[in-house]
Amino acid sequence: MSETTDIIQELLQGVGLAADYRTDSLTLLEKGESRYVRDLKLNFTSTLTSEQLSNKECALLGLSTAINNNNKPLTVFFTKYAEEQGCTPEEIADAVGCASLLASNNIFYRFRHFTQKEKYTQIPARIRMQIMMKPATGKEFFELMSLAISAVNGCEMCVNAHENSLIQMGTTEERVFDAVRIASLVTSMGKVVF
């Protein structure tokens, strides 16, 4: 067995998948003896802890990102990890709700931003967002998840709005940066494990 295969098996077992689980992407990396699989494993492992975020927050960010990206294996993994970190069912539901809400918001506000027509900013959005008012995860962390998901979804207007809100709440730029880093690495993992 090759070193690449060993690393892939460790990576898969780390997320609760069988050692022989393969996607087309993983197979191509394995056949090419890609050195990238070591980076992928280390990068993904770094999503579980942070100097700026608690393990619980890392778990919820990972879960929200996995839900946003429609990635079943990572959703299962991060749900279990969130439970292990003491997340309540309500906090887990907030992570899921955040991904769903931001899917609509990111499309809608990206449209407004792209068109740059004043008329569209005057028409009410009519998108219910009650979850943002009193989230189980707390207002600051829900904003942080919203920013990370908006970054993944590529909504400049939403990223700027959430980042501004977070800075006004006193959130450090390092905390913001790490949340987006985690979301980006979970998204990266989802390109080969899905």
Domain boundaries 52-184, corresponding CATH code: 1.20.1290.10
User: Is the four-CA dihedral 126, 160, 156, 90 of positive or negative sign?
Assistant: negative
CB 69 within 8 A of CB 152: yes
Tokens describing residue 51? 């100097």
User: Amino acid identity, residue 151?
Assistant: A
The boundaries of every CATH 1.20.1290.10 domain in the chain are: 52-184
Known catalytic residues are 155, 158
d(CA 128, CA 16): 36
Q: Give the dihedral of Cα atoms 44, 181, 174, 87; nearest 10 deg.
A: -60
pLDDT in tens, the chain (194 residues): 899 999 999 999 999 999 999 999 999 999 999 999 999 999 999 999 999 999 999 999 999 999 999 999 999 999 999 999 999 999 999 999 999 999 999 999 999 999 999 999 999 999 999 999 999 999 999 999 999 999 999 999 999 999 999 999 999 999 999 999 999 999 999 999 99
Tokens describing residue 26? 């993983």
Q: How many Å from the N-terminal Cα to the C-terminal Cα in the chain?
A: 24
